[in-house]
Chain A
Amino acid sequence: MKTSKTINQLSTAATLIAIAISCASHAQAKNDEATFYQWPSSYKTDFTKQNKKAYTSNEYWQVVTGAQLNKGVKVYLSDASTLVKLTPKARFDQGAVFKPQNLELNQIQLGNNLANKQQIVQLAAQKEMALAGFKDGSIALKVQNASLNAPSVLKYAQPLVADDKYIVHVKDKNSAFKLNVTAPLEIKKQFQPQLTIKAELTNKQFSNTDVSARLISPLGESVELKYNQGKIDFSNELAQLGAVKGLYQVELNVSVKHLANKIKRTIKVPFIQTAQTASILTTEINIESNNQGLINVNVPVSIDQEGRFAVKATLQGYSLNNQKVDIATAEVAKFLSHDENLTMPFKVSGLTKGPYSLSNIILTDQTRMMVLPHADTSKAIIELDKAW
């Protein structure tokens, strides 16, 4: 009896847990429900998307081996006070992770052949860096009176495993040499995609041969690229659409001679790839008013790929003295597996009248996180009075 009661209790508990889990599952995945939201007041939803962004770099990083660090690695400092961070870089080999041995600050040597005495101000050993949050084994040093006229040599005195890898990260905070890049935030999906960027180094010219580039996918895969006067051709189609898994990045490394030294800069430029996964048939938008404070707008959406799509728009009409006005801004979203009408039930105050139209229409692919190209206005519709 007792056992049977216990089993029943466990069964009930399990059922309740299952129900709870089901209810707590991703609320975005309720395929048959639309989510609607109307802002308290209308606002301009048209932000003419800026598709260019400017970036600046005063730093560079490079991967070196333990053998190279023991022998001495040239580092190129272009600021009298420079930060250098050394980080062990883990490697993956046949499914296993190998982390290089940690570095001791007092084993670092940084010198050059010049008369000026550049000084290493020991900044932080691994323990301090770990407390600062760099728990990846980094150590950091600051260089005062850095040599600008010739490269310095960074050396690690204690023997390291030859194949182990380390990242040398040099930051010239106040350097006169900054790499400035302007690049698009989005490129359209195509068979042979291309990215066009504008890259300039202040106070220095550079050519194609001074630049190396690689593409880093949102999933961390990396492939070398060719840079030609700001044009970067990707040899293959890009796989990821939108920003949902992160951004693509082009990493540019510029290395150009400067007197007996070099100026080196690394910069990463993020972007996404977009495609027209859905579109709005703006000529078929239907607006119905019941003259009781509710205006239903039906927006037909045609899809190329299934996903959750959102339509945001501002309902426009006329004031009682015939001035065109923005009435309300709202958004509706729903998972679509086929073409469908999305309904926007605008609540209005009644101090406006038709003809109504939609303006500043924005269509978004929420599944992939892309704002889609669209026509941003509909034609004016005379309201259909319906007693409903």
Chain B
Amino acid sequence: MKKTIKTGLIFASLMTCVANANTGLAFIHGTGKQTDARNDYWTSEFIDSVRQGLPNSNKYTVINCDFDQFMWNENASGCLAQGLTDFISAQGITELKLITHSNGGNIVRWILSNPTYDSRYPDIISKVKHTIALAPSSGGTPLADAAVAGNTFETSLGWLLGYGSDAVKQQQVSWMNFYNQQWLFGTSGRPSLQSTFESVVGSDVDSAIWDGDSYCGGYQYQVALEVTQNWLDSCSDGFLNCSSQSAAGSVWFTDKSKSNGSEPFSHHQSRRKCFGLDSLLRNRI
């Protein structure tokens, strides 16, 4: 009898273990060509904290692709599709959760909205259950318009937009509107995305020298984003207006409503372990 119970318990544990072990998490960076996004884009501190929310914290991947290209480019969405396909296959993932930042949200929406564009997409779409888009550039940004208006050799907004001009061009407000209207789901008047796509909106930039919170993620970035905020609406994270960040899917929360100390997330801080963002994500996934 004892042996039977023991066997049953072991079996039940194994089944539970198997069921939970099929949930995977992918971190998808924003504009830029990444080869070590774990350290260069997100920080290990952030990733290692967030992934503790998984049933099996080892079932995660950090994507490295060339998001300086148009979102439909093989080196952008094609690379993302391959990375997710490899992860699903290698880890036996049956339920996939995604955390994106900035333009990464657009590339995910490209895949979710165009299931037959690439033979890898249908399986990925069937596995994706939940996307948390941190400060997504769903509606573009006037800063991209400002950069392209200059039409300079380096049409670059550096770490914000990357040196690749195609990604910068694509994120102009009028261009993102075009792609939202004809090629992407999830914005107003368009079909909904078939899995949860929720954004975290950053609404301000704090860069007071006497305020310790301004140093989270790097004080120099806060100062810089206060500069770029002059081109934007008062509700913005220094790179994106709140309206752009909330244009697709639903809004999970706007920074101050849930962050520690009601602190805002600048566009840089929304990919950092700042003001409890990591624990909010950990609990959400």
**Contact surface of A with B, Cβ cutoff 8 Å:** 24, 26-28, 30, 33, 35-37, 39-40, 43-45, 47, 49-50, 53, 55, 61, 83, 85, 87-90, 97, 99, 123-124, 128-138, 140, 142, 167, 169, 171, 173, 185, 220, 243-244, 246-247, 266, 268-270, 272, 310, 331-333, 366, 369, 371
Across the interface, which residues of B come within 8 angstroms of A269, CB to CB? 174
Across-interface contacts of B257 in A (CB, < 8 A): none
- The answer to whether B175 and A247 have CB atoms under 8 Å apart is yes
Are A89 and B150 closer than 8 Å at their CB atoms? yes
Residue among A49, A268, A269, A272 facing the most chain B CB atoms (10 A cut-off)? A268
Are B154 and A135 in touch, CB under 8 angstroms?
yes
| CB <8 Å contact, A369 and B152 | no
Judge whether B174 and A136 touch: CB under 8 Å: no
Instruction: Flag if A169 contacts B146 (CB, 8 Å).
Output: yes
- Do A131 and B154 have beta carbons less than 8 Å apart? no
Interface pairs (9), CB distance under 8 Å:
A33-B119, A35-B116, A36-B116, A53-B174, A83-B230, A132-B160, A133-B143, A246-B175, A366-B116
A37 touches B154 (CB 8 A): no
List, in ascending order, chain A residues with CB within 8 A of B210's CB.
none
- Inter-chain contact B152/A133, CB cutoff 8 Å: no
A24 pairs with B82, CB closer than 8 A: yes
B223 nearest CB across to chain A (Å): 7
Please tell me if the beta carbons of B182 and A167 are within 8 angstroms of each other in the complex.
no
Contact A47 B178 (CB under 8 A): no
Interface of B is mostly: helix
Asked whether B182 lies within 8 Å of A371 as measured between CB atoms, the reply is yes
- Could you tell me if B152 and A40 are in contact, using CB atoms closer than 8 angstroms? no
Residue of A nearest to B191 (CB): A43
B125 adjacent to A37 (CB under 8 Å)? yes
Decide yes or no: A90 and B153 within 8 Å by CB, A55-B174, A136-B147 being known contacts: yes
Interface size on B, residues (CB 8 A): 62
Chain A min CB distance to B72 (Å): 7
Which of A43, A44, A87, A310 is the most central at the interface, judged by chain B CB atoms within 10 Å of its CB? A87
B282 within 8 A of A: no
- The minimal Cβ–Cβ distance linking B233 to chain A, given in whole angstroms, is 9
B231 contact set on A, CB distance < 8 A: 83, 171
Which residues of the other chain, B, contact A243 by a CB distance below 8 angstroms? 178-179, 182-183
- Expressed in whole angstroms, the Cα–Cα distance for A33 and B114 within the complex equals 17
- Any A CB within 8 A of the CB of B108: no
Whether a CB of chain A sits under 8 angstroms from the CB of B27 is no
A293 and B160 alpha carbons, distance in the complex (Å)? 50
Q: Find out whether the CB atom of B150 lies under 8 angstroms from the CB atom of A136.
A: yes
The answer to whether A27 touches B119, judged by C-beta atoms less than 8 angstroms apart, is yes
How many Å from the CB of A247 to the closest CB on chain B? 6
**Structural contact, A169 and B153, CB atoms closer than 8 A:** no
A137 to B125 Cα, complex, angstroms: 42
Interface status of B80 (Cβ within 8 A of chain A): no
Q: Name which of A97, A270, A332 has the most chain B CB atoms within 10 A of its CB.
A: A270
Q: Contact check: which of A28, A99, A185, A310 meets B181 at CB < 8 Å?
A: A185
B residues 129-174 in Cβ contact with A at 8 Å = 143, 145-147, 149-161, 163, 166, 169-170, 172, 174
- Measured CB to CB, the nearest residue on chain A to B174 is A270
Are the C-beta atoms of A135 and B175 separated by less than 8 Å?
Answer: no
A243-B182, A270-B175 given as contacts; is B152 within 8 A of A88 (CB)? yes
Q: Are A35 and B122 also in contact (CB < 8 A) when A89-B150, A90-B154, A369-B183 are?
A: yes
Asked if B11 lies at the interface with its beta carbon under 8 angstroms from chain A, I say no
> Is B78's CB within 8 Å of the partner chain A?
yes
On whether the beta carbons of B152 and A90 are closer than 8 Å, the reply is yes
- Residues of chain B lying within 8 A (CB to CB) of residue A30: 119
B54 to chain A, nearest CB (A): 25
- Set of chain B residues within 8 Å of A246, measured between Cβ atoms: 70, 166, 169-170, 175
